[in-house]
Structures are given as C-alpha cells and as structure tokens.
Amino acid sequence: MNIHTRQEFDAIVVGSGMSGGMAAKELCEKGLKTLVLDRGVAFEHGTSFVTEHKAAFELPRHGRVPLQEQKDDYRIQSDVYLFDEATKHLFVKDSEQPYIQEKPYAWIRANQVGGRSLMWARQTYRWSEMDFEANLRDGHGADWPIRYSDIEPWYDYVESFVGVSGQVEGLPQLPDGKFLEPMEMTAVEKHAKRSINASFPDRLMTIGRCAVLTEELNGRAPCHYCGECERGCSTRSFFSAVSVSLPAAAATGNMTLQANSIVHSIIYDAENDRARGVRVIDSLTQEMTEYYAKVIFMCASTLGTTQIMLNSKNSRFPDGIANSSGVLGHYLSDHHMGIDAKGFSDDFNDRYYVGSRPNGIYIPRFRNLNSATHRSDYVRGFAYQGSTWRLGPTRGGAQAGIGAALKDSLREPGPWEMQLWGFGETLPRYENHCRLSADETDQWGIPQLIVSADWGENEFAMRKDMAESAQEMMDSCGFRDIEVTDNLEFNRPGLAIHEMGTARMGRDPRTSVLNAFNQAHDVPNLFVTDGACMTSTAVQNPSITYMALTARAVDYAVKALHSGDI
C-alpha cells in the first residue's frame, strides 16, 4: 500500500461525537491546532438535516423502510427505537460494516460526523459519590481513581455549555446540576408523582433532565417542541456535536475536520515512548495516510476506540497499544433494560397538551442507597424513564367502529397512557469482552471485532425487583389494564446504547488502562475519554459524564504539554 504522510498537528481527536466534539472544542479553544477524524460521511448543521420537520406524508418514501431492506442492510440497526425512513441515513449499514457476535450483541453505530450525538435521547444525569465509590464498596470491578469532587466542577463547566433543563431535587444519589427551567409535566404525570410518593415516600418522580434548551443560551433558541430532535435541529435547541460543540471548535480557526477517515491504528514511537500519530484509511479511495501530533484523544466510541487500540500492535505492545495490563477490551458493559410497564387512565380526559415534548419523566434510583434501602438479593440499583400521552387516531384500527362514527370518535384524543422503562446498572465482568478476529477483516482490511457479552446473576436478580417495583407504582396510580413485561430477548446487550468499560480507568496500571485523567498508564500522550474509560456503569445515562471527563482530561493534557511532561 502506498502510504502518504501529512503535516504535523498539535492534537488529533479520533471521533467527532459526544466526546470527540467536546475534545475538539476544548483543545481548539486552548489554542491547539487540532485534527478531528471521523469515519462517517460529512454532515453539517442545517444543510444535512434533510428530514427535519417533514410530516409523514412529505417523506419521500412515506416513512417506511421496506422489510426486506431492513433485513438485508440494517439487521441490527433496525432494532433501534427511532430507526425509520426519516433517520435511516444516520445509521451504518450492517451489511457493509460487519462484526462478529460471539453472543448476541447489538452494536449501534452512526454513519456521519457528529456520531450518535445526533440520535441520542438527550437524558442528562450526573453520577454521584456513591457511583464512584461503588466498586470499592462491594468489590465488583476496580476502584475508580476519581471521586465526585474531582468531576463536579467539570459537570458545572460542560452543563453551562451544553444547556440542561431539569428540576432541582436535592437527592444525594442524583446530584443537581446547573439547570435551565424544567419542562412541564402532564396532568397524569403530576398525578403519578403524587400517588407514587404517597405510597412510597422514598421514591420520587421528577421531570427528565435533558440537553434541550428551555431558555435561550449562548445565542441558541429555546426548543420549539417539534419532537423529532434526531432529524436535526436548525435552532440548535437540543445539544449535538454537529450543532453545538463542533461549530464552537470551528470558530477558533484551529480545527481541521475530516470525514470519511477510518483510523486503522495508532503509530507508536518506541524511542520516545509516545504515540506519534495515526494511520488513516480514506473510506472512499482506500488510500492510507499518516498524521502526526503531540497528543491523541480517542473518542471513537467504546467499541470503536477499543478496536483501533487493539489493532495498534508493535513489539512493545503485542496485544494492542497501552495494553500492558491485558484488560483492554474487557469489562464491556451496557445498561440492562426491557422491564417495561404500561397502564391507562380515563380520569383526566378533560386535560391535554400542546407540543411534542422531547423528554419524559424520571424515577431516580431508590435501592441500595443506605441501610434502609439495602437489598440482600443484589447490589447496585436501577431507575426508570417514562412518559405519558393520550392515544392517537390510529387506535381506531384496533377497536370496533367504522364509518362516520369512527371518524367522529377519533376527533377526540384517546385515553391517557403511561409507560415506565427500567434501566439497571450492570456489573463489570472480565469475561464480557471484545477482541479482534484472527482471520476476518472488513472491506478496509481491518480485523473485525468479536463481541462477547451477556447479563449476569446480579442483573437477573435486579430485574425481578425492577418488575415488581414498576407494578406496585403503576398500581398506586390507580391505572387500568396495567401490564409489566420483561422484554429481555429484544433488549440484548448493546441496545441501551450505553456501552462502556473496555479501556477502564483505575489506580493500578496492572488492572486498568487509564489513570485518573484518562491518560494511558503506558503511553503518556494518549487519552481515552469516550465510554471505554468507564470503570462501572452506574444507572444514569452516561453522555454528560463522558463530556465532563473529556473537558477535564483536555485541561490536564494541555497543562502537561505546556510544562513538557508529555
């Protein structure tokens, strides 16, 4: 292969999504000439939002993705809740980007610059002191090398930039943040909040904390409640790398953003014990180019970053760069979900809403917080997301009635429904891992990733309680036709899209890849700040924590660069 070499940068960021966008912004604002690489296609604020605000009847193919196409090209991606004709182009084609499922695992991947920050659910919850202490307390997983006080100022910092709406609640297990005005609850949510708290004083329902503006912030407009953030937001009201962090990086004049750039591996300079740069394959031309920099940030998503690092082999690191510990690729964890509850109410038919709220409600963790909430059957805990709405007109297809009477009845909103969806913490286990295939490669000649992960006993014990707790809360609200289901089969690992842990942080270089500043123990100018760095999963949606860790790591790295330490 003909290898081209290019100019030197101060920094290289691999990946341009939630973590990469923040790394780019921080590095560029600190004056570093930064190359940002993404394997996806070019994607720009505004012009790339081709399905934004399109009604069902305006979509070129009427919203549907033919069943055969789903099966042939999107066998895995089509299981994502928001996959449809309006969002299909945001996902990779599984048929073009294969990986090997040693056990069933849904690897959900974005197809464009900005990564999955376009399609995230915008839920934004801080981790708490008890989350950073959890591994040490119960002995599962390595001890986190940081505590809440280390990250707290960085949560403040990134939240002020991202814009997070939410309600201050004063809970130790779910610290409050720098919130914009909370979104409003529906009549049924207000009722459920009161009912649940009356029956279970230690359980609280709060409005979801989400990265959607309810007030103007830095020139970004408040949300206009179209309800379809993932199609792109021309008013920049919801936070994505495409609309917010990458433009901030670009505004400095220090960023070079390059799409269609698949990082093959990290170049290691054995003489100086440093990462020298990266080898990049142009996805369109197959040409390989080397780029060099003083510091490298890996933000290619948990599995993407890990695949690149495992593929970066040399005599010093025969099993992948910065992997003297042998734990690179191990402790792969995703939140377990699929305990879903629903119920209906006819008691609030005189109430309705105006606007499609891009957010729901949240019931924070209430188990294993202290001796009063201690469980003997499992460790850690779970939380619920949920929402309410009145049934829409297509309920008419599932009930008796035809003719003018049918049309008439559907002019009235249907009954209220409430749903709850459990999200549980998953214990980090060594055997849940990914590794490179010895003989299968992709179309660019990169070894395919083998993924092997499943749920453990602790998760199954927790799920019983998740289902029972959901049932009793729905009962306490007086709903009718309550159903609690365990959809474990559908919710195989990966589908919560909160995968973490394969290059974990830790205090001991023998059992972890990264130190307290996301710096590789083995390679001082190599940083990993996406989900791969996470030492445990907690139960909160993780994006804001990735961003806080990223900003903190950049601050550390740039100071170290200036002082000559790296």
Phi, psi of 50 (to 5 degrees): -70, -20
Query: Minimum distance between the CB of residue 150 and another protein, rounded to whole angstroms?
Result: 29
Q: Tell me the three state secondary structure of residue 148.
A: helix
By CB under 8 A, tell whether 226 contacts another protein.
yes
- Name residues contacting another protein, limited to 426-455 (CB under 8 A): none
From candidates 34, 305, 368, 385, binder to another protein by CB under 8 A: 385
From candidates 31, 153, 401, 445, binder to another protein by CB under 8 A: 401
- Name residues contacting another protein, limited to 34-53 (CB under 8 A): 53
By CB under 8 A, tell whether 221 contacts another protein.
no
Nearer to another protein, 153 or 401 (CB): 401
From candidates 357, 429, 492, 504, binder to another protein by CB under 8 A: 357
From candidates 29, 44, 85, 442, binder to another protein by CB under 8 A: 85
How distant, in Å, are the alpha carbons of 14, 199, 261, 347, 499 from that of 393?
46, 34, 45, 19, 37
- Contact call for residues 382 and 366 (beta carbons, < 8 A): no
By CB under 8 A, tell whether 95 contacts another protein.
no
* Site stretch for another protein (CB under 8 A), options 282-290, 314-322, 410-418, 515-523: 410-418
By CB under 8 A, tell whether 402 contacts another protein.
yes
Q: In this structure, what token pair is assigned to residue 165?
A: 């709406």
- Name residues contacting another protein, limited to 195-214 (CB under 8 A): 208
Rounded Cα distance, 385 and 360, in Å: 7
By CB under 8 A, tell whether 271 contacts another protein.
no
- Contact call for residues 187 and 145 (beta carbons, < 8 A): no
By CB under 8 A, tell whether 56 contacts another protein.
yes
Tell me, rounded to whole angstroms, the distance of Cα 348 from its chain centroid.
35
Is the CA virtual torsion 51, 57, 63, 65 positive or negative? negative
Rounded Cα distance, 533 and 410, in Å: 50
By CB under 8 A, tell whether 406 contacts another protein.
yes
**Residues 72-105 as b or e (16 or more Cβ within 10 Å = b):** ebbebbbbbeebbbbbbebbbbbeebebebeeeb
Rounded Cα distance, 20 and 339, in Å: 32
From candidates 104, 175, 247, 413, binder to another protein by CB under 8 A: 413
By CB under 8 A, tell whether 178 contacts another protein.
no
**Phi-psi category of 494—alpha, beta or left, where left has phi over 0 and alpha has psi -120 to 50?**
left
By CB under 8 A, tell whether 222 contacts another protein.
yes
From candidates 6, 89, 375, 407, binder to another protein by CB under 8 A: 407
- Name residues contacting another protein, limited to 468-487 (CB under 8 A): none
Query: Minimum distance between the CB of residue 13 and another protein, rounded to whole angstroms?
Result: 26
By CB under 8 A, tell whether 350 contacts another protein.
yes
By CB under 8 A, tell whether 284 contacts another protein.
no
Rounded Cα distance, 426 and 234, in Å: 36
By CB under 8 A, tell whether 136 contacts another protein.
no
